[in-house]
């Protein structure tokens, strides 16, 4: 039930200017450089148009540590990076959170979804952010991002309220402000 859309190939090679200089979207999210596979498609009934008008061919599944949630990343025609969170066993609760590429580079993309049977929270971060200083007792990190990866940070059950804003290092020496949802 996903509407057909024109794929804007240039979107995946988008360069964004930030205070750090030029950053390629595929460098920030290497998973977008990988060819899409059948496993990257969202479940039937998840409508990409209502989740932020995501380009269907841009969507890639990313592995999260939360066994109750499924995650995808994608882009929109308006140059936004989106994180989709789906709770299949929780009434199929699904949501997305999107940010312009420059904002994603500076702050990442956070998301929280709640349903009748529970909730999940995650943070999509640029690939060059070093998450090793985040407290392992509170979070799990999928990554580090590699040639076909994405960095996804998920609070451990019951730990979301204990996360604190933290300055993280980036490759090249710049810093990244990790700010958890409240």
Distance CA 153, CA 150 (A): 10
Q: What is the pLDDT of residue 49?
A: 87
- What confidence category does residue 146 fall into, taking pLDDT thresholds of 50, 70 and 90? very low
Read off the pLDDT of residues 82-102 as tens digits, 9 standing for 90 and up.
Answer: 999 988 877 778 899 999 999
- What confidence category does residue 129 fall into, taking pLDDT thresholds of 50, 70 and 90? very high
Read off the pLDDT of residues 152-164 as tens digits, 9 standing for 90 and up.
Answer: 888 887 787 888 8
Distance CA 136, CA 124 (A): 17
Distance CA 62, CA 149 (A): 7
Average pLDDT over residues 100-119: 88
Strand-pairing partners, residue 141, are 153
Of 76, 42, 46, residue with least CA distance to 62: 42
Of 50, 94, 89, 93, residue with least CA distance to 72: 94
State the DSSP code for 65: S
State which H helix or E strand residue 107 sits in: helix 101-107
Read off the pLDDT of residues 22-81 as tens digits, 9 standing for 90 and up.
Answer: 468 888 999 998 899 999 998 888 888 888 889 999 999 988 766 678 899 999 999 899
Q: Residue 137: CB partners within 8 Å, gap ≥ 6?
A: 156, 159
Distance CA 80, CA 32 (A): 13
Average per-residue pLDDT in the chain? 79
pTM for the complete prediction? 0.81
């Amino acid at each position: 039930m996903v509407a057909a859309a024109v794929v804007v190939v240039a979107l995946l090679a988008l360069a964004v200017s930030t205070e750090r200089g030029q950053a390629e979207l595929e460098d920030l999210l290497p998973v977008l450089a990988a060819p899409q596979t059948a496993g990257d498609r969202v479940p039937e009934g998840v409508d990409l148009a209502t989740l932020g008008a995501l380009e269907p061919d841009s969507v890639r599944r990313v592995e999260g540590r939360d066994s109750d949630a499924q995650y995808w990343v994608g882009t929109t025609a308006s140059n936004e990076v989106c994180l989709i969170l789906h709770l299949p066993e929780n009434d199929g609760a699904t949501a997305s959170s999107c940010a312009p590429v420059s904002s994603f580079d500076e702050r990442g993309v956070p998301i929280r979804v709640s349903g009748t049977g529970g909730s999940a929270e995650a943070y999509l971060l640029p690939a060059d952010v070093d998450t090793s200083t985040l407290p392992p007792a509170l979070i799990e990190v999928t990554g580090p991002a590699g040639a076909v990866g994405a960095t996804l940070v998920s609070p451990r059950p019951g730990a979301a309220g204990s996360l604190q804003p933290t300055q993280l290092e980036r490759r090249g020496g710049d810093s990244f402000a990790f700010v958890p949802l409240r």
